[in-house]
Structures are given as structure tokens and as C-alpha cells.
Structure 1
């Protein structure tokens, strides 16, 4: 495994107040709960964390609070995805000044299906603009969100341009074959899958770990898989699939809302049901279905 970015890094859910403002105390508590449960670190402001819905100032402030609270820089991957490259550069520079060199970047997503040459140049401008020799950048492959998927050729070109700085790929494409191909093609890079059900198999092929949403509600379960991918119990495999099935227990539910519903049910804190517009909470029938399904699984909190 690549020594720079490996292990379990939950794509951290972020709590908001009823008016949509970031709930910093709850966010800090949740991050520390993840670390105490055995996660290697946390990933801030990714898709699961509603990251691009927050302003540059909000994102800076939360990162500063987490660093000031005793969370180590080495325990944070910060996502710098932003509509404007200048904002992404500003976020990356700010993180680097705080010692947070592990960063993740998704190409700007407001132009559908941009040409590969343009995306390569965009990533290069971000790396050059941040200007951090210690930068450890993950390319965020999520074509369903960004309408762009990093090809092997694009990855190789960015590694050639920025050796020692472009360190790997976070693969949220959902395809096991794609993740395995990345692990096989780039053994020197950190390949982290976002598909919980594929973690063990990808790691057995040389992958480095996972950044995923399920870890918000099942950190110990996902840590067990990552710590021993060659010997995952049938019970743990089944439990992962049962929990993931709640994401589609009703059609067309927003996955962030489902995870927040599960977390609110798990820890008894309804404040987690709030979401930042334009996302919205589950409707009552959806929420009831998720809660009923979660209770029916019956997994003890200490095991997940």
C-alpha cells in the first residue's frame, strides 16, 4: 500500500442547523467519534459532506477549528473542489499552511463533459497554484457527479507533471472492474475506493483503503474490513450489504439524506436530519422506511 494515504477515511457527514448554517460543535464531535472508533482519519467537504454547498470562509473556519481542537493534520484529507479554480487554490493553500497536505480534488463540474486536456490543465493549475512541495493530492473520480472520469492516460500525465504530489485516486465510479484496473495499473499510487462492498477485493488487488459514506454509521465494521481484507467474515460482508440496501429502500432517495437519517437514529440526535439547500431531508415515509430498516438489522452499536 502507498504509505502516504491508506486506511479508512470516512467521507464525513457535516451537520447543519435548521437555517442551513454549519454546526461546528457537532461536526467536531462527529470527527472525533470517527477517530475514536479506529478510523485513520476523516475526509472533509467531499460529496457526502455537502462540501461544495459551503463557502470558502466556512470551509476554512471548520478546518481551523478541527486543527485547533487537537485533531492532527495527518488525520485529515481536505477536499478543495470548487467551481472556480482560484477558490480551490485558496482552499489548498490554507490547508497546507495548517499542515494539511493530504488533499482531494474533483474537476469543476459546471461544464458537462469537458475535454481531457482542459481537465488535466485545471488540475495542474491547482497543484502549481497551491505551491506546496508536500502536497499529497488525490484525484477524485466521480463521473456521475462531475461528468468527467479520469482515464489512465490522464492520471499518468498528471503523475508525470507532478511527481510526488499527485499521489492517488479516490474512485467513486461504483465499478469493481474499474477500481481493480486502477489498482493494477498504478501500484505506486494510493487507490481508495468509495464503494463499501468492493473495499476488500480492491485492497487484495493492491488498493490502499477507502473513503466512503457508510463509515459515518459503521466505522468499526469498515475498519475491520480494511485492517484484514483477506479474512472478512461472512457476517460483516452481509452486514455491509444490509446497511447499503437502506440507500434504496425507497426509490430516488438522496444518499446523503439516508446516511443522516441513519446517524440520527443511531445516536438519537434529530439535529442530524437537517441538510444544506438545495438538498433536503427525506420525506416522512422515506424516513420511516429507513429507520424501520435500520432497526430491523439490529446490529449492536459497539460492533459497527
Structure 2
């Protein structure tokens, strides 16, 4: 009998980190810091990195900064590590330009979120993704996160888009487990859990892996969930996922954006993170203390 996990397509690997974009205290792009962080993430178990996504503060980085980040990280991790660049904007033309720029800078794929604010209907959304897919030679990971964009990529739309040869993956933050299983059962799209609490649940039904914000601080611990499940140690995998829950909740569901909490922890650990750009604001002292306590309990438990 075919194992749905080992047979799942993995165009960008299994364990991906939605990497923060390190800034200096003055707010400038910190390329040496990005290189140090990227190298650490790969050395501690990340198969690939997603740059300039939500966690990477893509709305407040310039096109030139996005390209420079890809170039610097590629230099740090080498050619064998998949790099996926966030290129989604609310403007199809701009998204096309960013996809072409990402290809020229050395990305292996692009992450394309639904156009936000304008909330296009499904036929317009489908046309948007197809136009981006046709614009470069890079494979696409669609980003389904209606809580931020206001628009769901409906399962039937995903099933049609899966027919495009360069639309190969989905970062799933839909919170629609039934819809996700429907698409998994009818397409070859590689699904990546975009919500850390869903890593094991999605993997168990055939997802490719995850794109994680929490992996910025505990890359090896999250990868161990997948490793245990693949080894057949399902009870161990469940226990590891459960042990991550307090940290996941504090980083992702306690009122602060994941970018803010990830950078707060990285800075506390002496790792590259730096400031966040407005309109985001740094975590307060109480929040930082709580995050550090949850992190220490997780890694020592």
C-alpha cells in the first residue's frame, strides 16, 4: 500500500522556514545578518527557505531589497537549497515584475499570495495566478491565507490551477481541512502547512511539509515532528507536535504578528533579527519575557 507521506510531491523539500528579513537597528536591510541566519537555519534542518513572505515583511521592503536578499542568501546557502521568493502584491503587473526579478536573482520558486484588498472573484483570481505562472520559468507556490487577503482560493479554483505545469504547490493557511483534503485527493499539488499547529495533521494526510514562522527559532525541533512520523513513530510525532503548542500559540496567536515574535526571540538569543518596520512595532518587555520562557521550556522539556 502506498504511503501518502513518502509518495507526496516535494518540489521545495519538506521543512521550510518562512525566514524573517533581518534589519539593522536603524531599519536598513541587514544582508550579513540574513546570511548568518539562513546558514544557521539550513544547518539545523531546514530543507529550504521562503524569503520576503509575510514573516519576511514583504509589504515594507522594496523591490531592490527583495532581489538583494535573494542574492545574499543564495551566496550563503549554496545552490542546493531551494529558495522561494514572495512576489505577491495587490497588483498583477507588479507581481509579474517581481516574479521575473526573483528568477533573475536566483530563486527556485515564487510564493504568490491572493491579491489583497481588491478581493477579486474566483475567475479573476485564477487569471491572476495563470498570468504570473506564464511570466517566468519558475514554479509557483500559491499562498492561501484568506484571513489576511480577504479572499479564499476556493478548492475548485485550486483544482483547475493545478493543471498549469508551473503551479506546483500551496502554502495552506485556509483553516479549511476538508477543502485541503479535497484538493490533495484530486491533484498533485504539494501542500505545505502554513500554520504551525497544523504541521502534523496535514502531513498525515499527504502534505509535503510546512512553511513555518516558528522554525526561525526552533528549526530542528519542528523537523523532528516530520522525521518521527516518517519513521513510523506516530505517537512520538504527536507528542512532539503537542509539546510545541505553547510556543506556537504564543508566537502566532497571542495578539502579536509572527514577524514581531520571531524577531523578539531571535534578538533575545543573540541571533540576527533586528528591528521591524512600521507599521509593526517591537514586542514589549512583558511579551519578550513570556516568549523567552516558553522557548526555554520547549527546548529543555
TM-score interval, normalised by the smaller of the two chains: 0.7 to 0.9
CA contact (8 A) 2:146 2:174 kept: yes
> 2:20 pairs with 13, 16, 22, which one?
13
Shift of 1:48: 1.1
Cα deviation code 1:123-149 (max 9, x no counterpart): 12212222x1xx211110000111111
Shift of 1:221: 1.1
Q: TM-score, normalised by structure 1?
A: 0.87
Asked if residue 146 in structure 1 is aligned to residue 152 in structure 2, the reply is no
- Unmatched runs of 5 consecutive residues or more in structure 2: 1-7
- Unmatched runs of 5 consecutive residues or more in structure 1: none
CA shift in 2, pair 1:152/1:19, >3 Å: same
CA contact (8 A) 2:195 2:212 kept: yes
Q: Which moved more, 1:211-220 or 1:92-101?
A: 92-101
Q: Which residue matches 1:47?
A: 54
Partners of 1:74 and 1:284 in 2: CA distance: 36
CA contact (8 A) 2:265 2:291 kept: yes
What pairs with 1:61-210 in structure 2 (closer than 5 Å)?
61-72=68-79, 74-111=81-118, 113-130=119-136, 132=137, 135-160=138-163, 162=164, 164-186=165-187, 188-210=188-210
CA shift in 2, pair 1:69/1:107, >3 Å: same
Q: Which residue matches 1:231?
A: 233
Q: TM-score, normalised by structure 2?
A: 0.88
Say how many residue pairs are matched: 290
CA contact (8 A) 1:73 1:99 kept: no
CA shift in 2, pair 1:248/1:88, >3 Å: closer
Shift of 1:5: 3.0
CA shift in 2, pair 1:263/1:56, >3 Å: same
CA contact (8 A) 2:261 2:291 kept: yes
- What SS is found at the alignment partner of 2:18? coil
**RMSD over aligned Cα atoms:** 2.2
CA contact (8 A) 1:56 1:87 kept: no
